[in-house]
Amino acid sequence: MSIINEFEPSILIIVKDEPSISDTLTRLKSHSSTMQFECVVVDASEGRLDFIRKSFPWVKWIDFISPKSKKISIPEQRNVAVRASTGKFIAFCDAGGIPDPHWLDNLMAPLFSGEFSLVGGPILNSNTASPTSQYNLQPYGTKLQVKTTANLAMSRDVYLQVGGFRESLEYGSDADFIWRAEQLGILHASIPSAVMSLNGGTSSREIRRSWRYGKAMTNLFSIHKDKRANLVRNSPEIIFYPMLILATIIGISLRPARLAIPTLSIFLAANCAIVVKNRRGRRPYFTLVLHYVYALGMLSMLIKLAIKRIR
C-alpha cells in the first residue's frame, strides 16, 4: 500500500491511443510549480506508446489491460491511477492537455488551505474544429457548469467519500462522480486562474464525441433522476433537439402525406432560428450539427435501454 504524501500532489492521466500525451508531459516537466509532484499515467495502449514512455522516465507508468467485457475502460483507468498515486491531493488532466505555467499551484492552493476540497478550472479549446473557444471560465468559488476531469483536482478524502468512479459507465463517469460529490454537499468550485488548454482534434472527432456524450447523458439521466429538472432548465437543448427530431419523424409519417410539407417547413424554420441565434458563435452551423448528433446519441441509448427493460 502506498504511503500518502501530504506535501507532494499527484497528477493523474489516462491514455490509450493519444500520442499527444507527449505534449502534456513535456509541459509538465517544465511546469513553473513551486512544489514537487508525481505524475501517474495509466497506459492502455498495450505497447503502442512505448516510444513515448522512454522519453519520460520520471513518470510512473502503469500498464492497463482493458477488460474484454467492456469496450471503454475510462473509469477503471482513473480508479487505477488514484490507487497507484501517493499524494494527499490529486489532479486530473487529459492526454493532450496543456497546462498554463502556474496551473498546478493555482489549482492546489485552495485545496492546501482547506477552502475547497473539489476544484476545477477553465478549458481553452485550442482546436479550430471546436464550436466553442472556452468553457468553465467562471468567477472564483462558483459552482462549475461543465463536469470534467480535463481540469480537476480534489483531496483524496473526497475521492474516498464519493467511492471512486463508477465503472459500470463508459462515458460520463466524471460528471457522475462530481454529481455524487455534490449530493454529499461538496462544492465543485471554480478556480479561474488554473487554466488548461485542450486540442479536441478534428471535426470528425468532435462529432464522435458528441455522439458518445449524448449516449452518456441518457445513462446519467437514468441514474441521477434528481438532476433532470435542473439540466433541462440550464441546458434546454438536451430535450429540444430530441423532441424536434421525433416530432419531425412523426409528422412526416402521418397520413395524409400533405402534412409532411408543413412539418418539414417547421423543422427548417426552427433550424434557421437556431443558427441566427448562435450566429456570433465560433461555428454556428457546425454547432447545430453537433447538437443533432448529441440528440441522436441520446435517442439511441434511450431505445437501447427500453429494449433491455422489455427483455
Same domain? For 141 and 233 the reply is no
70 part of a folded domain: yes
- CA-nearest of 57, 7, 59 to 38 is 59
* Side-chain half-sphere exposure of 102, counting CA atoms within 13 A: 7
Same domain? For 54 and 172 the reply is yes
CATH number for the domain that contains residue 114:
3.90.550.10
Same domain? For 148 and 24 the reply is yes
Count: domains in the chain: 2
Average predicted confidence (pLDDT) for the chain: 89
Q: Which stretches of the chain are DSSP H helices?
A: 21-29, 50-53, 74-84, 103-113, 156-162, 173-183, 203-223, 228-234, 237-253, 260-277, 284-310
Q: Per residue in 172-231, pLDDT tens?
A: 999 999 999 999 999 999 999 999 999 888 899 999 999 999 999 999 988 998 888 777
294 part of a folded domain: yes
Last residue of a domain, one of 158, 185, 201: 201
| pLDDT bucket at 53, cuts 50 / 70 / 90 | very high
Same domain? For 191 and 290 the reply is no
φ, ψ (nearest 5 deg) of residue 147 = -95, 110
**Residue 247, domain extent:** 207-310
Q: Per residue in 57-78, pLDDT tens?
A: 999 999 998 887 788 899 999 9
| pLDDT bucket at 42, cuts 50 / 70 / 90 | very high
Determine the 3-state secondary structure of 18 from DSSP: coil
Q: Are 65 and 81 in contact (CB under 8 A)?
A: no
Per-residue pLDDT, averaged over 158-163, amounts to: 98
pTM check: above 0.85:
yes
107 part of a folded domain: yes
Q: Determine what percent of the chain is predicted with pLDDT higher than 90.
A: 59
